[in-house]
Structure formats: structure tokens, C-alpha cells
Amino acid sequence: MKSKAPRKEEGQAPFAYEGLDRVIHERARLSVLTSLVTHPKGLTFADLKQLCALTDGNLSRHLRVLERGKLVAIVKGHDRNRPLTVCHITASGRKRYLEYLETLEQVVRDAARAGAEKPGPEIVRELAPSRV
């Protein structure tokens, strides 16, 4: 099992974050994939539009990119004679999403370790003394 995010030469370029797969990292696609990974039974086109606050055109465009990359499968069917499009994340899409997520967690850890978090009502962490 490959659990390490594909970071190249971590020692030399610890902030390169090679694991931030560009197909997934784009904001709308990250929204769509996070919706789908949390809804393993799939979501309709209309559900996704609402959950991700995307227009028809934008959602279609990004779904095409995800489908071409085999991250998402789209099934066009009917429900009571009305067309119904249902989207699922594929097994390989889920795997790539989870690898992406590891790098995302790394970004959050790197920032937190440096005391970048602000002490506030929502997030209170141990802080290194700030020099700024």
C-alpha cells in the first residue's frame, strides 16, 4: 500500500507539495469530489449543483474533467420518465482523493507547527511566539 503522498525529495523541497494533484486541487473540483466522497451512494447533478454552489455550465465542465480522469463515473438514467444524472466517485478517484488529502493535511500541519494559527474563539492552539 502506498501511503506516502508523492512528495519529491522532501528534504530539499519540503514545501513543494507535489501531492496536490492539479485535477483535484481546483476549487470547484475539490468541492465536487469532497461531496461525492462523503456520499458513497452517489449524488444527482441537481444535488451537486446545490451542495457546491455551482452553475450548470461550471458543474458540467468540471464533471467532464473528472470523468475524463476516471475519478468520477456518471450514469444517465430516468426517474419517472424524467432524465436523471447520477454521479459517483470511482475506486481510483477515491484512492487519488485520499492521497491528495494526505498532502492537504501536511500543509495544515506545516502551517500549524510554525505557529501560524491565530488564537481565536474558534481555533486555539499552542503558539510559537510570533516575531511579526
Sites of contact with a second copy (CB under 8 A)? 1-9, 12-18, 20, 22, 25, 27, 30-32, 34-35, 37-41, 49-58, 89, 91, 94, 97-98, 101-102, 104-105, 107-108, 110-111, 113-114, 116-118, 120-123, 130-132
Q: How far is the CB of 68 from a second copy (least distance, A)?
A: 20
What's the rounded Cα separation, in Å, for the pair 39 and 8?
Answer: 32
**Cβ-based nearer residue to a second copy, 13 or 81:** 13
The smaller minimum CB distance to a second copy, of residues 34 and 85, is found at 34
* CB closer to a second copy out of 16 and 84: 16
81 versus 130: smaller Cβ distance to a second copy: 130
Reduced to 3 states (helix: H, G, I; strand: E, B; else coil), residue 12 is: coil
CA dist 47 and 38 (Å) reads: 13
Shortest spacing between CB 99 and a second copy, in angstroms: 9
Q: How many whole angstroms separate alpha carbon 78 and alpha carbon 12?
A: 53
DSSP-derived secondary structure for 53-105:
T--HHHHHHHHHHHHHTTSEEEEEEEETTEEEEEEEE-HHHHHHHHHHHHHHH
